[in-house]
Amino acid sequence: MADLMTNVGGITSPNPFWLASAPPTNSGYQVQRAFEAGWGGAVWKTLGDPIINTTSRFAAVSYNGQRVAGFNNIELITDRPLEVNLKEIYETKKRFPDHAIIASLMMEPKRERWHELVKRVEQVGVDGLELNFGCPHGMAERGMGAASGQVPELVEKQTYWVKEVATTPVIVKLTPNITDITATAEAAVRGGADSISLINTINSLAGVDIHTWNTIPNVDGKGAHGGYCGPAVKPIALNMVAECARNANVNVPISGIGGISNWQDAVEFMLMGASGVQVCTQAMHHGFRIVEDMIEGLNLYLDEKGLSSVSELTGQSVKRYSNWGDLNLNHQIVAEINNDVCINCNKCHIACEDTAHQCIDMLKDEYGNPILRVREEECVGCNLCSIVCPVDGAINMVEKLNDRPPMSWNERERVITSLTASKSS
Amino acid sequence: MNVLNRLKENFSEVEQALSKQEAVEESNRCLYCYDAPCITACPTGIDIPSFIQKISSDNVYGSARTIMEANPVGASCARVCPTEELCEGACVLNHSTTPIMIGKLQRYATDWAKHNEKVLFKRGKPIDRSIGIIGGGPAGLSCARELAVQGYSVTIYEANEEAGGLDTYGIVSFRLPKAVSRWEVEQVEELGVEIQTNCKVGVDVSFDEIQSKHDSIVLAIGMGEVPNLHLPGETLEGVHDAIQLVKSTKKDDLPEPLVGKAGVVIGAGNTAIDGATCAVRLGAEQVQILYRRTSEEMTAYDFEYEFAKQDGVEFRWLTMPVHIHGNDEGKVTSIECMKMELQEPGEDGRRRVQPIEGSNFTIEVDFVIKAIGQNRYLELLNEIGVDHVNGVVRVEEGRFKTSLNDVYACGDVTFGEGHGEAMVVTAAEQGKQTAYRIHEHLQGQARTFA
């Protein structure tokens, strides 16, 4: 068994699976149940000034009958008194000294108030702090959460204030509701963050009820935007994590968040630069017990790959993530249909015919059986056919060797520029 | 609960309907193939991926319309089609996981339309041409529907109390409740088709009279009763015709129960299964199917065979009845049979059978059900003077024209003698095609009302 011990910017936990700051970490009872189930850490539901929540609060998006493909919430930070939360944090930490408890904090952008909150929270023995600069709804209207998280100067300043008094590591949680997340990530680093976590939820409206014309969810007939998370946001989160990981100025560890539903997702985030991950929606969908498979699956995967520590995964794929202009334009792949596996649903044909490059023919073989064939010379290797194919192994994208040397757009531009220059000289 | 009520429950539909959630989940499993083989495998060419997709998007009205547009008896077919040999057998998922439950989804959509009393089609702009259809079974109804949609004036002459034919009277109600067939009949009636019930052509009205009233005639008379066995004792009390037995169970009141009785069914086609399972559900204690060949040669569908076995029906292969014995009161008491042995295959590829000398044995019975095929309406056909071979009306391939001018034929009356296969769905398709041929023929002559 590999070593799953994780260290995210100075915060250690027995495994990389933390519960994100959200409803699952609302109370000591819940966090203790989570630790009993095997979770390595928990970021406590955000502490701050008292708030009042609405009913209802959540909504989810189903896709073709698959429930909770995406999840949307308009719940605010904790609605329990600070002293109650602190007492339960203390008790939980005492029971689970080896598990990571991180307090998520949100405060109006005032230095004294941040100092006051940090000091009170650190007194009960948390392992670290996570600054909630990401929550996109409700609190943002009061200048907190995403509202301050969208302004790099505010991120930097508030991080700095926290670091002035904090004795435990500080994570800055970033909002994705911004054009370039590396701008705020850099600001967090400048402010002294020990690590960053991303992404928080994305501005969203889960739906509109086509019969009542109400928003989903609605509160007494009115709706407001919420924060979107769950499996649907994973690609967005993964890109943002990767963008931060490959940015030289963001030189702090990353806690990956966004649609992580199983150990495979976790591996992907770690390969793209995360040192650990945070999970919420999957736990809300199925309960804390899902972590058992996450731990086991990750362990078996690491053994299979011959890795002795989970930390060896971190960042392995980052160097493979680059700019479009650096991609090799002379690399060619084409679709190859395996008619022995193909079940003749013809989805590849119609997808290619209607929406791609018209290069998959529906033909008959010598016995009159239907077969599909790719006209390789027309195939641009777009992958669409293999994406819509419902059967594994029926369509393979195979490399087509050519005699052209690798050449990216940027290299091509450079060559053209140098040629033009030499011509004009 | 009294015995009759308990037995009545035996005749309610066996197959459970899909719940909305089950239907949506199953519909989401459909791949929505392009040029889908299930469509090709459906004799009526229902756009199956499309109707399934409409279930998943909660457009159940559109789904039912897609089904019924292609197949005017689509609600019945959802229940009686041998789907594993047709659409579901062709489903590409047979090659990867499990096929989509197309029949059950079709039932879900059509049940919805029936339950919600939806009007799916409208009569076309009236055309001053009139068509008379003899027989209101699947073929006749289907033909009538397509003609009415075009705007023709259509009259169906139906010998029975109700239209629907085989669907109404011939298919056991625990597989196809009468209400389903009745709904399909109503759909056709709502298009302005006149259905004259209890009107037997040749008895209540002459063919000539009908011919004089209409521009075209369609013979969709199906088939008749079970032929004679030509065995001694055939007329004894307790000897039933399977078709009649099934018909009697589709009335509001059940026939006399067979509680505690034992009997045999002669034959091994789908009608024999129907006769046997009806007898079981009427309370019979023991029901044996006697067949002179083996399960290999049996013509009943596999699922029917399975169903009968589940019902506790016993099968006695290589057994040929030779004599039905009765008592002084004229009631059947036993059936004498001979054992058969298999020989070399005959011309039709089926192995021939030969009785074994001296193998006679007797089975004590209270009833005997005959199910060895169906008679043809020879008398009527001869009266009409249409060309036929042993009661199978000859039609021009694909044109459904008979030897008589402006007289068409479709459905069971044209099946047999190597032409086509007797399935409800095939009859429905033939009815549709006949309507199109009639329309093509009359189009030149007809004018629409201004």
| Beta strand residue intervals within B110-164, DSSP E | 130-134, 153-157
* pLDDT at position B420: 54
CA distance A341 to chain B (A): 8
- Residues in chain A within 8 Å Cβ distance of B37: 344
Cβ pair A134, A173 in contact under 8 A: yes
CA distance A28 to chain B (A): 38
Pairing status of strand A11-13 against strand A6-8: antiparallel
Distance CA B289, CA B275 (A): 9
Note the pLDDT tens digit of each residue in B383-410. 999 999 999 999 998 899 999 999 999 9
Nearest to B33 among A64, A65, A347 (CB): A347
| Helix residue ranges per DSSP H, B160-300 | 178-189, 207-213, 242-249, 270-281
Question: Is the peptide bond prior to A231 cis by the omega test (within 30 degrees of 0)?
Answer: no
Placement of tokens 């004799």 in the chain:
B43
Axis-axis angle for helices A291-305, A263-271 (nearest 10): 50
Distance CA A373, CA A364 (A): 10
Confidence of residue B198 (pLDDT cuts 50, 70, 90): very high
Note the pLDDT tens digit of each residue in B85-103. 999 999 999 999 999 999 9
- Residues in chain A within 8 Å Cβ distance of B25: 65
Nearest to B33 among A64, A65, A345 (CB): A345
A359 is catalytic: no
Note the pLDDT tens digit of each residue in B142-195. 999 999 999 999 999 999 999 999 999 999 999 999 999 999 999 999 999 999
Per CB distance under 8 Å, which residues of A are interface residues toward B? 64-65, 343-347, 349-350, 362, 390-391
- The answer to whether the Cβ–Cβ distance between A344 and B37 falls below 8 Å is yes
* pLDDT at position B190: 96
* pLDDT at position B418: 56
List the strands of the sheet with A66-73, edge to edge. Answer: A58-63, A66-73, A226-229, A202-204
Pairing status of strand B392-393 against strand B388-389: antiparallel
* pLDDT at position A414: 96
Residue B350 has pLDDT above 70, yes or no: yes
For residue B24, which of B61, B57, B51 has the smallest C-alpha distance?
B57
Pairing status of strand B286-290 against strand B262-266: parallel
| Beta strand residue intervals within A149-245, DSSP E | 170-173, 195-198, 202-204, 207-208, 215-216, 226-229
Distance CA B446, CA B128 (A): 7
Cβ pair A352, A358 in contact under 8 A: yes
Helix (H) or strand (E) holding B344: strand B332-345
- The fold of B239-370 is FAD/NAD(P)-binding domain (3.50.50)
**Greatest C-alpha distance within chain A:** 83
Domain span(s) for CATH 1.10.1060.10 in chain B: 14-115
Rg (CA), chain B: 23
CATH homologous superfamily for the domain B14-115: Alpha-helical ferredoxin (1.10.1060.10)
Nearest to A344 among B24, B25, B92 (CB): B92
> Phi first, then psi: what are they for B247, rounded to 5°?
-60, -40
Helix (H) or strand (E) holding A411: helix A409-424
For residue A405, which of A340, A330, A317 has the smallest C-alpha distance?
A330
Going residue by residue through chain A (425 aa), what tens digit of pLDDT does each one get?
899 999 999 999 999 999 999 999 999 999 999 999 999 999 999 999 999 999 999 999 999 989 999 999 999 999 999 999 999 999 999 999 999 999 999 999 999 999 999 999 999 999 999 999 988 888 888 888 888 899 999 999 999 999 999 999 999 999 999 999 999 999 999 999 999 999 999 999 999 999 999 999 999 999 999 999 999 999 999 999 999 999 999 999 999 999 999 999 999 999 999 999 999 999 999 999 999 999 999 999 999 999 999 999 999 999 999 999 999 999 999 999 999 999 999 999 999 999 999 999 999 999 999 999 999 999 999 999 999 999 999 999 999 999 999 999 999 999 999 998 887 66
| Beta strand residue intervals within B140-261, DSSP E | 153-157, 194-196, 216-219, 239-241
> Considering Cα of A410, then A411, then A412, then A417, what sign does the dihedral take?
positive
Per-residue exposure over A30-54, b if at least 16 CB sit within 10 Å of its own CB, e if not:
bbbebbebbbbbbbbbbbbeeeeee
For residue A397, which of A415, A414, A410, A385 has the smallest C-alpha distance?
A385
Q: Count CB neighbours of A139 within 10 A.
A: 22
Residue B449 has pLDDT above 50, yes or no: no
Distance CA A360, CA B263 (A): 61
For residue B291, which of B312, B253, B317 has the smallest C-alpha distance?
B317
Cβ pair A225, A205 in contact under 8 A: yes
- Residues in chain A within 8 Å Cβ distance of B32: 347
Residues 6 or more apart from B179 whose CB is under 8 A from it? B114
Nearest to A345 among B28, B31, B56 (CB): B31
Pairing status of strand B351-355 against strand B361-364: unpaired
Mutation for A interface: B93, B96, B97, B100, most A CBs within 10 A:
B96
* pLDDT at position B252: 84
* pLDDT at position B450: 38
- The answer to whether the Cβ–Cβ distance between B34 and A345 falls below 8 Å is yes
Our measurement of the distance from residue B419's CA atom to the centroid of its chain's CA atoms, rounded to an integer in Å, reads 17
**Residue A129, amino acid:** L
**Chain B, 299-338: which have a CB under 8 Å from a chain A CB?**
none
Per-residue exposure over A241-252, b if at least 16 CB sit within 10 Å of its own CB, e if not:
bbbbbbbeebeb
Return the structure tokens found at B362. Answer: 């007797």
For residue B26, which of B104, B85, B94 has the smallest C-alpha distance?
B104
Cβ pair A226, A201 in contact under 8 A: yes
Return the structure tokens found at B429. Answer: 């398709």
- Residues in chain B within 8 Å Cβ distance of A390: 31, 96
pTM, entire model: 0.91
Pairing status of strand A195-198 against strand A170-173: parallel
- Residues in chain B within 8 Å Cβ distance of A64: 28, 56
Q: How many residues does chain A have?
A: 425
Helix (H) or strand (E) holding B343: strand B332-345
- The answer to whether the Cβ–Cβ distance between A346 and B35 falls below 8 Å is yes
| Helix residue ranges per DSSP H, A191-306 | 234-245, 263-271, 281-286, 291-305
* pLDDT at position A134: 85
Cβ pair B109, B53 in contact under 8 A: no
Domain span(s) for CATH 3.50.50.60 in chain B: 130-224+376-443, 239-370
- The answer to whether the Cβ–Cβ distance between A344 and B24 falls below 8 Å is no
Candidates 3.30.497.10, 3.50.50.60, 3.40.50.10490, 3.30.200.20; correct CATH number of B130-224+376-443? 3.50.50.60
**Domains of chain A and any CATH numbers:** 6-318 (3.20.20.70), 324-399 (3.30.70.20)
Q: How far apart are the first and last CA of chain B?
A: 61
In this complex, is the C-beta atom of B28 within 8 Å of any C-beta atom belonging to chain A? yes
Helix (H) or strand (E) holding A362: strand A360-364
Nearest chain B alpha carbon to A370: B37
Cβ pair B166, B242 in contact under 8 A: no
- The answer to whether the Cβ–Cβ distance between B96 and A391 falls below 8 Å is yes
- The answer to whether the Cβ–Cβ distance between B95 and A349 falls below 8 Å is no
Nearest chain B alpha carbon to A346: B34
What is the average per-residue pLDDT within B224-238? 93
- The answer to whether the Cβ–Cβ distance between B28 and A65 falls below 8 Å is yes
* pLDDT at position A233: 98
Cβ pair B164, B249 in contact under 8 A: no
Mutation for A interface: B29, B31, B48, B98, most A CBs within 10 A:
B31
- The answer to whether the Cβ–Cβ distance between B34 and A65 falls below 8 Å is no
**Residue A227, amino acid:** G
Distance CA A275, CA A256 (A): 7
Per-residue exposure over B307-331, b if at least 16 CB sit within 10 Å of its own CB, e if not:
bbeebebebebbbbbeebebeeeee
**Chain B, 79-138: which have a CB under 8 Å from a chain A CB?**
92-93, 95-96
